[in-house]
C-alpha cells in the first residue's frame, strides 16, 4: 500500500520541489520525467493488487469523508495507461518544449496533472474524486493557456475551464442526489447498497436523474454534446500536453467515472431513460464530431474532433450497458490517440509550427519514422481488422450497439466510415504528394527523444488490443464474441472510407470538398457566442450591472464617498490659510463662549 501512496504523492512532491525550490534550474524537466518514470514503474508493480487504505479528511456527524486510495482491477489498469502515456509524453516534451522559455512551468503543470489524474483514478469515494476532478480541470486550464500571452490560448483555457465547471456543477448535484438515495458516497458503500436491493427499491426517476446529473460531469470533462466546444479550442496548448490530457487521459476520465459508477451500482441501474440518453448523446457526439473532423484543415483539430468522436463511442458503450467495451476502447484509444497527437507534434515541430495540413505534404520521405508511426496510429484508429488494437475495442462497441439499439448501430457504422475517411484524408494530405510550402519542404526527421516515444506508442497501438498484452496490463476487456454482421459492416466501412479518402484527396492541392456546415462545426460555437451568450449571459449580466451601478456603486460606494468629499469640502473652507480669518473665528468663539456661560 505504501507504493500506492508513493505513486499518489510523488508527482505533486516533485512538482512542488520544481516550482518552489529549483525554479529556473535546467534540471527541472529531467527531474519531472524521472518522477513520471518512477510513477510508471510503481503502477506496473501495483498491477493486479486489490486493497484500500486512507485517512479521514472531514468528519461531520455520521458522515466521514476519506482521502483513500482504492486499488482494484479497474484502477490499477487505468493507472498503467495514465502513467505510461504520461511518461512517454514527458520524454517527448523534453525535446518538444526544449526551447520554450517557460519549460519549467510546463513540467510543473504536467506534474500537477499527473497528481490529479492519479487522484481521480485511485479515489475510493465520490467526494475525493470530485476534488481531483476539479484539480484536473485546473491543470488542464494551466496547460491549455501555457502560452498565455496569446489571446487565443488564454481564451481557450477560459472556455475549457468554464465548460468543465458547468459539467462539474451537474456532477456535484448528481453525487448529492445519489447520496440522498443511497446514503453512501463510497464506491464500496454504493455497491453494498445496490447489492442489498437498493437500486430496485429506489424510484427510477430520481435514480435516473442522479445518474444523468453525474453523467453531466462526464459531458463536461469528456467533451460530449453540448459541452464539446472546449476540446477543439484546447488544442491551443502545447501538443504533448494535448496528447496527454486532451486525448489519452483526462477526457477519458468521464468514461472511467461512469464505468466506476456502473460497476458500483450495477448496470441495471442504467437501464431505462438514463442509459438511453447517455447512449444517444454519445452516439450523436460521435457522429457530429466525425462529420466536423472531415472538413478541418488544422491537423490538431482533426485529431481533436476525432477524439470527441471516439469518446462518443465510449460514452455510447456505457449507455448501452457495455461499460467494459467502453473501458477497453478507452485503453486502446489512449495509446493510439496519444501516438497520433505526438506524431502531429513532431510534424508541427518539423514544419516550424505549421499546423495546416494543406501547407504540408510529402512528409513521408522526409520523416519516415514519424510517418510510419502515424500510419500505425491511423490504422489503429480506423480499426484495420485483426492486426490493430483499435479493431478489437471498436468491434466490441459495435457489437454492443448491434445488440442494444439498431439505430445507434447504424450511427456507429457511419462514424466508422467517417473515421476511415477523415483519417485517410489527413494522412494522404500530410504525408503524400508534394510539399506545398517551404516549411514542409525543409522538414526533416525529429530527434530520438521524440521518435522513441512515437515508436513505443506505435508498437502499443498495434499490439495493445491483443489478449496477451491487455491481460498483462490489466485492461478491462470484455469477452470477444464474433458477430458476422458487425465484422462485415466494419470491414466494408473501412474499405469504403479509405477508398473514398484516397480517391478524393490523392495528389490534390486544395480541398476538393467544401461543406461549410461541417467546417463551421455545425455552428455550435456561433450559436453559443451569438445566441446563448448574448441573450442569456449578457442579459443577465446587464441586469446585474444595472443593480451594481445603481445600488452598490451609485448609492453605497459612490454615495458614501461623495458624502465624505462634500463634508470634507465644507470643512476645507475653514482652513483658508488666512491668519486673520482664524483669529476672527477664534474671537467670535470666545464671545460665544462668554455669551453662553454668562447669560
Partner 1 sequence: MATLNDYLLVSGLLFAIGLAGVVIRRNIIVVFMCLELMLSAANLSLISFSRFNTINGLPDYNGQMLVFFVITVAAAEVAVGLAIIVALYRSRQTIHTDELTSLKG
Of positions 9, 523, 547, 584, contacts partner 1 by CB under 8 A = 584
542 or 570: CB nearest partner 1: 570
User: Is 56 in a helix, a strand, or coil?
Assistant: strand
Q: Phi first, then psi: what are they for 384, rounded to 5°? A: -65, 125
Of positions 542, 574, 596, 598, contacts partner 1 by CB under 8 A = 574
Cα dihedral sign for 138, 144, 149, 151? negative
Smallest distance from partner 1 to CB 589, Å:
12
Please spell the DSSP secondary structure of 64-80, one letter per residue. Answer: EEEEEEEESHHHHHHHH
Of positions 561, 578, 592, 593, contacts partner 1 by CB under 8 A = 578
User: Is 229 in a helix, a strand, or coil?
Assistant: coil
Q: Among candidates 423, 391, 573, which has minimal Cα distance to 489?
A: 391
DSSP state of 54: E
561 or 578: CB nearest partner 1: 578
50 or 583: CB nearest partner 1: 583
Q: Is 61 exposed, middle or buried (0-12, 13-18, 19+ CB in 10 A)?
A: exposed
* Distance in angstroms (rounded) separating the CA atoms of residues 50 and 33: 28
Of positions 579, 595, 597, 599, contacts partner 1 by CB under 8 A = 579
533 or 590: CB nearest partner 1: 590
539 or 585: CB nearest partner 1: 585
516 or 577: CB nearest partner 1: 577
* Distance in angstroms (rounded) separating the CA atoms of residues 180 and 182: 6
Smallest distance from partner 1 to CB 543, Å:
43
Cα dihedral sign for 403, 408, 414, 420? negative
27 or 590: CB nearest partner 1: 590
Does 576 engage in binding with partner 1 (CB under 8 A)?
A: yes
Does 570 engage in binding with partner 1 (CB under 8 A)?
A: no
Compute how many residues bind partner 1; rule: CB under 8 A.
Answer: 12
CB atoms within 10 A of CB 451: 23
Contact 404, 320 (CB under 8 A): yes
Q: Is 290 exposed, middle or buried (0-12, 13-18, 19+ CB in 10 A)?
A: buried
Contact 192, 258 (CB under 8 A): no
447 or 576: CB nearest partner 1: 576
Smallest distance from partner 1 to CB 559, Å:
24
Of positions 580, 595, 596, 597, contacts partner 1 by CB under 8 A = 580
Does 594 engage in binding with partner 1 (CB under 8 A)?
A: no
Q: Which residues contact 174 (CB under 8 A, 6 or more apart)?
A: 209, 210, 211, 212, 213, 214, 215, 216, 217
Of positions 513, 565, 583, 592, contacts partner 1 by CB under 8 A = 583
Given the rule CB under 8 A, which of 378-386, 420-428, 462-470, 566-574 is the region that contacts partner 1? 566-574
Cα dihedral sign for 128, 129, 130, 134? positive
Does 577 engage in binding with partner 1 (CB under 8 A)?
A: yes
Our CA dihedral for 161, 166, 172, 177, rounded to 10 degrees, sits at: -170
Angle between the 187-195 and 151-182 helix axes, to the nearest 10 degrees?
Answer: 40
Contact 229, 163 (CB under 8 A): yes
Our CA dihedral for 473, 478, 483, 486, rounded to 10 degrees, sits at: -70
Q: Which residues contact 142 (CB under 8 A, 6 or more apart)?
A: 109, 112, 157
Instruction: Give me the residues paired with residue 19 across strands.
Output: none
Smallest distance from partner 1 to CB 103, Å:
57
Smallest distance from partner 1 to CB 571, Å:
8
Tell me, letter by letter, the H, E, C secondary structure of 7-53.
HHHHHHHHHHHHHHHHCCCCCHHHHHHHHHHHHHHHHHHHCCCCEEE
Given the rule CB under 8 A, which of 72-80, 141-149, 289-297, 578-586 is the region that contacts partner 1? 578-586
Smallest distance from partner 1 to CB 595, Å:
15
Smallest distance from partner 1 to CB 578, Å:
6
Smallest distance from partner 1 to CB 560, Å:
21
Of positions 529, 550, 572, 593, contacts partner 1 by CB under 8 A = 572
Site string for partner 1, 351-370 (x = CB under 8 A): --------------------
* Distance in angstroms (rounded) separating the CA atoms of residues 114 and 95: 19
Of positions 203, 484, 575, 597, contacts partner 1 by CB under 8 A = 575
- End-to-end CA separation in angstroms for the chain: 94
541 or 564: CB nearest partner 1: 564
- The number of CA neighbours under 13 Å toward the Cβ of 149 is 2
Smallest distance from partner 1 to CB 586, Å:
9
Smallest distance from partner 1 to CB 581, Å:
9
Considering only residues 148-167, where is the footprint of partner 1 by CB under 8 A? none
- Asked if the bond preceding 86 is cis, omega within 30° of 0, the reply is no
Smallest distance from partner 1 to CB 535, Å:
53
Considering only residues 455-494, where is the footprint of partner 1 by CB under 8 A? none
Does 203 engage in binding with partner 1 (CB under 8 A)?
A: no
Smallest distance from partner 1 to CB 526, Å:
59
User: Is 237 in a helix, a strand, or coil?
Assistant: coil
571 or 595: CB nearest partner 1: 571
517 or 591: CB nearest partner 1: 591
Of positions 196, 368, 507, 587, contacts partner 1 by CB under 8 A = 587
Considering only residues 104-133, where is the footprint of partner 1 by CB under 8 A? none
Smallest distance from partner 1 to CB 561, Å:
19
DSSP-H helix ranges across 524-557: 524-527, 539-547
Given the rule CB under 8 A, which of 6-14, 369-377, 418-426, 581-589 is the region that contacts partner 1? 581-589
Does 598 engage in binding with partner 1 (CB under 8 A)?
A: no
- The number of CA neighbours under 13 Å toward the Cβ of 12 is 14
Residues that bind partner 1 (CB under 8 A): 571-572, 574-580, 583-584, 587
Amino acid at each position: 500500500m505504501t507504493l500506492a501512496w508513493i505513486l499518489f504523492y510523488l508527482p505533486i512532491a516533485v512538482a512542488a520541489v520544481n516550482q518552489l525550490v529549483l525554479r529556473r534550474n535546467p534540471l527541472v524537466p529531467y527531474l519531472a520525467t524521472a518522477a513520471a518514470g518512477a510513477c510508471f514503474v510503481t503502477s506496473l508493480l501495483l498491477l493486479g493488487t486489490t486493497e484500500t487504505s486512507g485517512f479521514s479528511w472531514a468528519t461531520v456527524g455520521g458522515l466521514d469523508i476519506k482521502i483513500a486510495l482504492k486499488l482494484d482491477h479497474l484502477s490499477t489498469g487505468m493507472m498503467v495507461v495514465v502513467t505510461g502515456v504520461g511518461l512517454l509524453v514527458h520524454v517527448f516534451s523534453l525535446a518538444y518544449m526544449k526551447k520554450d522559455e517557460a519549460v519549467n512551468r510546463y513540467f510543473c503543470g504536467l506534474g500537477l496533472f499527473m497528481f490529479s489524474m492519479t487522484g481521480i483514478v485511485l479515489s475510493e469515494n465520490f467526494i475525493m474524486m470530485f476534488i481531483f476532478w476539479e484539480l484536473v480541470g485546473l491543470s488542464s486550464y494551466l496547460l491549455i493557456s501555457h502560452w498565455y500571452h496569446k489571446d487565443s490560448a488564454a481564451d481557450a483555457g477560459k472556455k475549457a475551464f468554464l465548460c468543465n465547471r458547468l459539467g462539474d456543477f451537474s456532477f456535484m448535484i448528481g453525487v448529492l442526489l445519489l447520496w440522498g438515495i443511497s446514503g453512501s458516497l463510497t464506491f464500496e458503500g454504493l455497491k453494498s447498497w445496490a447489492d442489498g436491493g437498493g437500486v430496485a427499491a429506489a424510484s427510477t426517476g430520481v435514480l435516473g436523474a442522479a445518474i444523468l446529473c453525474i453523467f453531466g460531469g462526464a459531458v463536461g470533462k469528456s467533451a460530449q454534446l453540448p459541452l464539446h466546444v472546449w476540446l477543439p479550442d484546447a488544442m491551443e496548448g502545447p501538443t504533448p500536453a494535448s496528447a496527454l490530457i486532451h486525448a489519452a487521459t483526462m477526457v477519458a476520465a468521464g468514461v472511467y467515472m461512469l464505468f466506476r459508477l456502473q460497476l458500483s451500482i450495477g448496470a441495471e441501474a442504467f437501464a431505462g431513460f438514463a442509459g438511453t440518453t447517455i447512449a444517444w448523446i454519445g452516439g450523436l457526439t460521435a457522429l457530429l464530431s466525425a462529420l466536423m473532423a472531415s472538413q478541418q484543415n488544422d491537423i490538431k483539430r482533426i485529431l481533436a474532433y476525432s477524439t470527441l468522436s471516439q469518446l462518443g463511442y465510449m460514452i455510447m458503450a456505457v449507455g448501452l450497458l457495455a461499460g467494459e467495451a467502453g473501458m477497453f476502447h478507452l485503453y486502446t484509444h489512449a495509446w493510439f490517440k496519444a501516438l497520433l497527437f505526438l506524431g502531429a507534434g513532431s510534424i508541427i515541430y518539423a514544419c516550424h509550427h505549421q499546423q495546416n495540413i494543406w501547407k504540408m505534404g510529402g512528409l513521408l520521405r522526409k520523416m519516415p519514422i514519424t510517418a510510419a508511426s502515424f500510419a500505425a496510429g491511423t490504422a489503429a484508429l480506423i480499426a484495420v481488422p485483426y492486426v490493430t488494437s483499435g479493431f478489437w475495442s471498436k468491434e466490441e462497441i459495435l457489437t454492443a450497439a448491434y445488440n442494444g439499439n439498431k439505430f445507434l448501430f447504424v450511427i456507429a457504422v457511419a462514424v466508422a466510415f467517417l473515421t476511415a475517411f477523415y483519417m485517410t484524408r489527413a494522412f494522404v494530405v500530410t504525408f503524400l504528394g508534394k510539399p506545398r510550402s517551404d516549411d514542409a519542404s525543409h522538414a526533416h526527421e525529429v530527434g530520438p527523444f521524440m521518435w522513441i516515444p512515437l515508436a513505443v506508442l506505435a508498437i502499443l497501438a498495434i499490439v495493445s488490443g491483443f489478449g496477451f498484452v491487455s491481460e498483462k496490463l490489466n485492461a478491462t476487456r470484455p469477452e470477444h464474441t464474433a458477430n458476422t454482421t458487425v465484422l462485415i459492416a466494419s470491414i466494408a466501412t473501412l474499405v469504403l472510407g479509405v477508398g473514398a479518402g484516397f480517391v478524393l484527396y490523392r495528389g490534390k492541392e486544395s480541398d476538393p470538398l467544401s461543406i461549410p456546415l461541417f467546417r463551421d462545426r455545425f455552428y455550435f460555437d456561433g450559436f453559443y457566442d451569438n445566441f446563448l451568450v448574448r441573450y442569456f449571459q449578457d442579459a443577465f449580466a446587464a441586469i446585474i450591472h444595472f443593480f451594481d451601478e445603481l445600488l452598490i456603486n451609485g448609492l453605497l460606494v459612490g454615495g458614501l464617498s461623495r458624502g465624505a468629499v462634500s463634508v470634507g469640502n465644507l470643512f476645507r473652507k475653514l482652513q483658508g490659510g488666512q491668519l486673520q480669518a482664524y483669529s476672527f473665528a477664534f474671537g467670535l468663539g470666545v464671545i460665544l463662549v462668554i455669551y453662553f456661560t454668562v447669560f
